[in-house]
């Protein structure tokens, strides 16, 4: 027994699986645009990454040519597609207490300062860094209202939404002590088993905002 798809569905399937052409000129334009918009430098060896990430945008918009996509961007400098373009080309490498030797230095510096202590995490990604800073300051300065604050920003608005949620897989917290896990996170149960969430008492000290509106 054989089956066939209607002509329209067959055409759509071919569009979704066909490899689109990313010319040298297209790659140069993409590199120029992302540098102008976000200060991101794309080396030549990033070409496959650029293709794999942007081709999803083209297909979601029903486009089959990178040139048409770039024309769409450049025709409206205020289009919401610019943010999707930036989000697609942003690489986020982060972890809780990454570069761990920095945090004792932060704690020592905070102890020696009076007034409200403020820290800006400029590339907050999915929130691991600003929450690590917040845990360090809570351990060092306590949780007295107005004593300290963490401002967290990122150019990628999608990762900021994850950061705001404060929800992580349990294995992502491997760098935390048992005391930090108990004090600052809630474990999920039932369908949320294996997940943890930042306690609101800590989250209240962290403000997330897109990089363009950061302090």
Q: Are 33 and 73 in contact (CB under 8 A)?
A: yes
Q: Are 64 and 20 in contact (CB under 8 A)?
A: yes
From 53, 147, 183, 199, the catalytic residue: 53
Distance of alpha carbon 110 from alpha carbon 118, whole angstroms: 9
Torsion of CA 110, 144, 206, 196, to 10 degrees: 110
| Strand arrangement of the beta sheet that strand 206-210 belongs to | 117-121, 148-154, 206-210
From 44, 59, 98, 154, the catalytic residue: 154
Instruction: Give yes or no: 154 in active site.
Output: yes
Residue 153 forms beta bridges with which residues? 209
- Range list of H helices, 18-141: 24-38, 47-60, 66-75, 81-89, 102-111, 128-141
List, by residue number, the catalytic residues.
53, 154
């Amino acid at each position: 027994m054989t089956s066939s798809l209607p002509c329209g569905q067959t055409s759509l399937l071919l569009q979704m699986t066909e490899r689109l052409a990313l010319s040298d000129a297209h790659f140069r334009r993409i590199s120029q645009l992302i540098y102008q918009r976000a200060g991101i430098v794309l080396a030549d060896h990033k070409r496959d990454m650029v293709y794999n990430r942007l081709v999803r945008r083209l297909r979601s918009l029903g486009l089959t040519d990178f040139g048409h996509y770039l024309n769409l961007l450049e025709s409206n400098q205020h289009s919401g597609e610019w943010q999707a373009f930036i989000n697609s080309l942003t690489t986020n490498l982060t972890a809780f207490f990454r570069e761990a030797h920095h945090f004792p230095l932060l704690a020592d510096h905070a102890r020696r300062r009076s007034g409200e202590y403020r820290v800006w995490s400029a590339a907050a990604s999915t929130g691991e860094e600003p929450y690590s800073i917040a845990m360090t300051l809570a351990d060092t300065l306590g949780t007295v209202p107005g004593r300290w604050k963490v401002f967290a920003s990122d150019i990628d608005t999608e990762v900021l939404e994850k950061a705001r949620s404060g929800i992580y897989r349990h294995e992502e917290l491997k760098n935390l002590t048992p005391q930090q896990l108990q004090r600052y996170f809630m474990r999920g149960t039932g369908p949320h088993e294996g997940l943890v969430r930042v306690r609101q008492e800590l989250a209240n000290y962290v403000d997330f905002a897109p990089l363009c509106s950061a302090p």
